[in-house]
């Protein structure tokens, strides 16, 4: 190579060898061929790569919420259903919105603008602005075109019957998980399986193309309850009326189908509206029928008499000495509200004599009496499957003192739930079987456990019919056209913080069934602390039974089994009321 340099000239000439020039040209040509080959490979032979790279920047997998199963009554009426809604959330790291957009967003969300601004400024990547908005309002929010704001498809649980069946159904949380009642007990059945879908979103997060389904959402199964909405409405209405009229603290009612063991109605008052969750508290959401226990009072007397009949200790016409209206056991005294003289065993039930019941109970070995109560379902859960169900308290017989065995005969010293009590009465409404109960619709008769003989069951049933006659304590439960059997109960409430009983606070109850000739429905009512001056079960609870049972039998088209026109509407004289 030769370089020429002339200082008098302003530029220099460089001679490049020919072989080097051709080398550079060859290198450039090879590079061009490689680039063209790579382009052909990517564009034609392996085009999926570029598509994957593009999609990775805009392709998203979104969750598709499954629809929760509905809850229906036995006739198919909807009690709980899930309605489609949308929730609004933001990624604060991507949000871009003007002050005007934020103001419009706050108005649509019914929120303070400063609160919205604070959430948009969060250092998190996911922040809910509002859950479960109606679709039409959510669509208006989407029209604001705020970058980093997204809508999520969800479901809102709605309860058309509101307070009527609230304690049965329970409710769900904002994420659709059962929290109480049937919603919690049958959570696994009602809950479906969420789906997944692949979509393409634009730069502000809106779905612009539906690519395809990965997994379809699977809806939850419907649950069909044994509840009859018409009977449920009637029960709730009459219970609420009684609690208000009696200025009581609370009340509960439950009705069973004798043949199938199905719960036809179950209500409590005060109640709550599951559609307005902000107003709930632990006091009103408690299903007292199943989770509260109380001393049942004289409604337990038929069980002491049943076991005495079963073991041959007494007969229906055996005469019991109750003269003086009192009996002493050690230092304790058991009293009747008046001196009722000598009574047959049937009259002990009819007039609700504490003294007579106590004397019958003391004829029994403690173990025999305890076994009768235990086999009747006291001290154990009913098996209905309701969350939080109470088992009550039935103390071991080897710890009973004579006074405790005596008072147990009229419902003191034992605690039961209203559901346990109404179920136990299936013994007397059937031929001595304790029926299994259910909240789900059952189309076939239930086979129960034999506890007492057919003869004993029918004998006690006749006694319970006497208790509802004009001379009995439960005449307020009579129904025109139907024979009724039942028992009143009135018990002093136990003191909460110390031993003993309150002198001026009572639990008033009634348990009965009809038609007595061929029982179809059993019903139990409990009124907690009536305070308008009346507190006996016959004047407080029995009339509620009469009104609800009459309507129930008509709804079920149960034939009359008694002549019409014999209903006594006047109140029962106070002297006939039981106090046990």
Angle CA 348–477–74, to nearest 5: 120
| 54 three-state secondary structure | helix
Residue 283 to residue 460: CA distance in whole angstroms: 37
Instruction: Report which DSSP code applies to 45.
Output: I
Distance, in Å, from the CA atom of 467 to the CA atom of 475, rounded to the nearest integer, reads 7
Q: Is 564 exposed, middle or buried (0-12, 13-18, 19+ CB in 10 A)?
A: exposed
Residue 85 CB partners (closer than 8 Å, separation 6+)? 132, 133, 134, 135, 138, 154, 155, 156
Residue 218's alpha-carbon distances to 43, 50, 196, 199, in angstroms, are: 40, 34, 11, 19
3-class state of residue 383 by DSSP: coil
Cis omega (within 30 of 0) for bond into 228: no
CA distances from 208 to 141, 144, 150, 212, 558 (A): 17, 16, 13, 13, 61
Residue appearing with tokens 């009326």: 241
CB atoms within 10 A of CB 127: 17
Tokens representing 509 are 């109850």
Q: Which residues contact 193 (CB under 8 A, 6 or more apart)?
A: 66, 215, 217, 218
Among this protein's residues, is 121 annotated catalytic? no
Q: Which residues pair with 224 in a beta bridge?
A: 72
Q: How far is CA 262 from CA 228, 312, 440, in A?
A: 10, 33, 7
How far, in Å, CA of 351 to CA of 578, rounded?
A: 7
Q: Output the six-digit token pair for 507.
A: 């639990």
Return the residue matching tokens 């086999």.
375
* 3-state DSSP assignment of residue 301: helix
Rg over CA atoms, the chain: 38
Catalytic-labelled residue, pool 82, 226, 298, 475:
298
| Active-site annotation, residues | 298
């Amino acid at each position: 190579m030769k370089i020429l340099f002339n200082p008098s000239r302003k530029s220099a000439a460089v001679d490049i060898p020919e072989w080097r020039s051709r080398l550079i040209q060859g290198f450039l040509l090879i590079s061009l061929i490689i680039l063209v080959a790579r382009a052909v490979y990517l564009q034609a032979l392996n085009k999926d790569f570029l598509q994957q790279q593009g999609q990775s920047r805009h392709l998203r997998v979104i969750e598709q919420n499954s629809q929760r199963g509905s809850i229906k009554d036995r006739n198919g009426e909807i009690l709980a259903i899930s309605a489609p809604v949308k929730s609004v959330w933001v990624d604060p790291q991507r949000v871009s919105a003007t002050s005007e957009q934020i103001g419009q967003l706050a108005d649509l969300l019914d929120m303070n603008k400063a609160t919205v601004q604070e959430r948009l400024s969060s250092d998190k990547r996911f922040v809910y602005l509002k859950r479960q908005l109606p679709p039409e309002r959510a669509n208006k929010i989407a029209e604001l075109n705020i970058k980093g704001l997204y809508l999520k498809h969800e479901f809102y649980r709605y309860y058309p019957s509101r307070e009527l069946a609230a304690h049965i159904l329970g409710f769900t949380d904002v994420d659709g998980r059962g929290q109480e009642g049937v919603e919690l007990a049958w959570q696994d059945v009602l809950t479906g399986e969420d789906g997944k879908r692949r979509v393409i979103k634009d730069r502000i997060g809106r779905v612009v193309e539906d690519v395809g389904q990965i997994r379809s959402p699977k809806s939850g199964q419907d649950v069909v309850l044994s509840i009859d909405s018409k009977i449920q409405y009637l029960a709730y209405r009459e219970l609420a009326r009684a609690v208000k009229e009696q200025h009581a603290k609370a009340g509960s009612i439950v009705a069973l189908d004798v043949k199938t063991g199905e719960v036809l109605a179950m209500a409590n008052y005060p109640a709550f509206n599951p559609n307005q969750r902000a107003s709930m508290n632990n006091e009103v959401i408690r299903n007292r029928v199943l989770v509260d226990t109380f001393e049942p009072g004289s409604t337990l007397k038929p069980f002491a008499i049943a076991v005495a009949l079963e073991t041959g200790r007494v007969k229906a016409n055996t005469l019991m000495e109750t003269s003086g209206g009192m009996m002493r056991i050690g230092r304790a005294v058991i009293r009747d509200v008046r001196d009722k003289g000598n009574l047959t065993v049937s009259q002990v039930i009819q007039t609700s004599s504490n003294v007579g019941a106590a004397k019958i109970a003391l004829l029994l070995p403690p173990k025999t009496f305890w076994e009768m109560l235990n086999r009747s379902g006291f001290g154990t859960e009913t098996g209905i499957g309701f969350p939080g169900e109470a088992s009550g308290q039935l103390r071991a017989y080897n710890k009973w003192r004579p006074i405790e065995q005596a008072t147990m005969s009229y419902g003191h010293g034992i605690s039961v739930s209203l559901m346990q009590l109404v179920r136990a009465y299936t013994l007397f409404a059937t031929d001595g079987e304790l029926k299994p109960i259910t909240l789900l619709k059952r189309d076939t008769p239930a086979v129960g456990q034999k506890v007492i003989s057919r003869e004993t069951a029918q004998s006690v049933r006749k006694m319970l019919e006497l208790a509802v006659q004009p001379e009995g304590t439960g005449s307020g439960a009579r129904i025109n056209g139907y024979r009724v059997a039942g028992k009143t109960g009135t018990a002093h409430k136990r003191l909460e913080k110390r031993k003993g009983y309150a002198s001026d606070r009572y639990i008033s109850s009634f348990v009965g069934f009809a038609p007595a000739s061929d029982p179809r429905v059993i019903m139990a009512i409990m009124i907690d602390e009536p305070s308008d001056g009346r507190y006996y079960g016959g004047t407080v609870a029995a009339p509620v039974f009469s009104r609800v049972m009459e309507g129930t039998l008509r709804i079920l088209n149960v034939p009359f089994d008694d002549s019409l026109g014999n209903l006594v509407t006047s109140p029962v004289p106070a002297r006939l009321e039981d106090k046990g």
